[in-house]
Amino acid sequence: DAKTTQPNSMESNEEEPVHLPCNHSTISGTDYIHWYRQLPSQGPEYVIHGLTSNVNNRMASLAIAEDRKSSTLILHRATLRDAAVYYCISGDGQNFVFGPGTRLSVLP
């Protein structure tokens, strides 16, 4: 079973920020938090990952709660191309189990 829970779907307006939450209350001390996204009929695409500190890259930011039981993926300005299913996974590098993810719709 997946070790994370996410909302089934979210909606955002184009060019507005999007905050995608993820709960991983059973995360172990050495598990990293990874985010991927998937467009229809494609393999997932890596977005970002982190352990304890907040992380930024060209695609997104990852805010990790101090107790590490939850995290938030932040898309600073949503575009139509960001519409996808976003998956949050916590793992040790040997066991990646995908949950249902969050389907993000971006409205023009």
Partner 1 sequence: GAVVSQHPSWVICKSGTSVKIECRSLDFQATTMFWYRQFPKQSLMLMATSNEGSKATYEQGVEKDKFLINHASLTLSTLTVTSAHPEDSSFYICSASLGQANQPQHFGDGTRLSIL
Give 51 or 80: the residue with its C-beta nearer to partner 1.
51
- Whose CA is closest to 5, among 96, 90, 106, 104? 90
Q: Which of residues 67-96 bind partner 1 (CB under 8 A)?
A: 85, 87, 91-96
Give 18 or 27: the residue with its C-beta nearer to partner 1.
27
Q: Does 7 bind partner 1 (CB under 8 A)?
A: no
Buried b or exposed e, range 14-28, using 16+ CB within 10 angstroms: eeeebebebbbeebe
User: Do the beta carbons of residue 88 and residue 49 sit within 8 Å?
Assistant: no
CB of 85 to partner 1, least distance (A): 8
Helix (H) / strand (E) containing 36: strand 32-38
Q: Does 46 bind partner 1 (CB under 8 A)?
A: yes
Give the footprint of partner 1 on this chain (CB under 8 A). Answer: 30-32, 34, 36, 38, 41-46, 49, 51, 85, 87, 91-101
